[in-house]
Structure 1
């Protein structure tokens, strides 16, 4: 019989930090700690790739994970993740994840992580901070999947606080926040929210000429099973996508990336 007087077992928590600094001639610094790792695969494309991974296999209560990229002036690079990140059912406080990206003068960064899967009962606080030099730019992707779709899981409890902030020369130019909680979940099927979608994504292109791509982007927003819309405020192009499943969502994203960037998709991606 369960003994309520027995002492609580203190669960082991995962802490990890990985940071990569690149210059025009290649790697400058690489720091890794705990469960966070960074790989630098050799690629034939002109754009160097950084691949982050979490060796703990996912995020549970009170885990801490931090990735960072520092591109020095005149440097272009692509950063992604080895596989989908998983946020497991939480029995305590939320897991915390942070991404810190810095792009120097004349630089460019494509931040294209693979999807985050939120298990039923997951608790996750995540923050992505981007600091751009006055003439630097970036392309940011975020994909979320609600539940383990192959198992028919539909989250009944959930906590998500996800925020992306982009600064140019210290001034905020893009702030995108998304939150989910137990009270919100029953209303997600409404047309004003997710309209029943289980997979969603946001692409944000931050560059002075970003609005010029609006028509080209809208021309390929026709993947079956995916609904999407694009807007172009000054200096930005923001695309939002909804789907019942992550595979048509990935196909739509692949088509959009072909319009938005001249380089091949990350080698690590399953296309």
Structure 2
């Protein structure tokens, strides 16, 4: 009997998560609510909550959140978003927010990046000449309580804020393994956040913001100029970072934290 040749069967294509949640508000009422795939949206009085029912992101996943409003609203996410180990390309998240008047508070809960994750996110916030925005982005590298460490990752995050089509704030970030310990980057921190207020007279809040940047275990700094205030935070863990963010938001907004936040 001749030698038998075994042919390896091709690996099955892995299922990828796809989702879109599109919300339009007019006069505080829901004018449009469209969801597809894993992305959902819950509309509460004065608040929109986006969520990803897939439970996290990995290579090849696609997630889109859109919000259009003609009045003030707070938008957030139902829980922390998780980017897991990716074996096939980046997960991609797109956030498009548009406000005609009043203020939009975009306050998503933190993004947790696990080891060997690959995530590319693009957030675009379009303001009319009479609109304002308070925008937060927070990132945690693994879960310290679970003994997780992150040594390899690919994270690209780009945030653009425009007013009447003209750029007023651009924040690009590219995080690679080399940036985790560098003295000019994270310097060993496991969590970081950026807060931006684009509003008339935003610089008037600078002194009050600096007074509350004293949460133990968190390093922070703030600056302001020409209707823009920005703060940068780094921390050894996600919980002190969240406490510092909560104190910062208490200065910058007159309302309580979003209903789904937990402290």
Same fold (TM over 0.5): yes
User: Which structure has the bigger radius of gyration?
Assistant: 2
Q: Deviations over 1:212-247 (max 9, x none)?
A: 100010011111111100011212100000000111
Deviations 1:88-143 (A, max 9, x none): 00000100001000011x22100000000001000000000011001100000000
Displacement after TM superposition at 1:4 (Å): 8.4
Which whole-Å CA distance do the structure 2 matches of 1:93 and 1:148 have between them?
23
Q: CA deviation at 1:181?
A: 2.0
| Residue 195 of structure 1, CA deviation | 1.9
TM-score (norm 2): 0.95
Q: Number of residue pairs matched?
A: 258
Residue 3 (structure 2) aligns with: none
The aligned counterpart of 2:229 is: 237
The counterpart of 1:147, out of the listed 125, 136, 142, is: 142
Tell me if structure 2 keeps the 8 A contact 1:78–1:112. yes
Higher strand share: 2
Length-normalised TM-score, structure 1: 0.92
Cα drift, residue 155 of structure 1? 1.4
Q: Alignment partner for residue 160 of structure 1, among 155, 162, 165?
A: 155
* Distance in 2 separating the partners of 1:147 and 1:25: 37
Give 1:268's match in structure 2, choosing from 233, 237, 260.
Answer: 260
In structure 1, C-alpha distance between the alignment counterparts of 2:258 and 2:48, rounded to whole Å: 9
Aligned partner of 2:117 in structure 1 is 122
Q: How does 1:192-203 map to 2 (within 5 A)?
A: 192-203=184-195
Q: Secondary structure at the match of 1:141?
A: strand
Q: Hey, what's the Cα distance between the residues in 1 that align with 2:213 and 2:241?
A: 11
**CA contact under 8 A between 1:71 and 1:107: conserved in structure 2?**
no
Q: Please, what is the CA RMSD of the aligned residues?
A: 1.3
Whole-angstrom CA distance in 1 between matches of 2:155 and 2:12:
26
Give unpaired runs (5+ residues) of structure 2.
1-5
Give 1:148 deviation, angstroms. Answer: 2.4
Q: Equivalents in 1 of 2:184, 2:116: separation in Å? A: 24
4+ long deviations beyond 3 Å = none
Specify which of 97, 100, 108 is matched with residue 103 of structure 2.
108
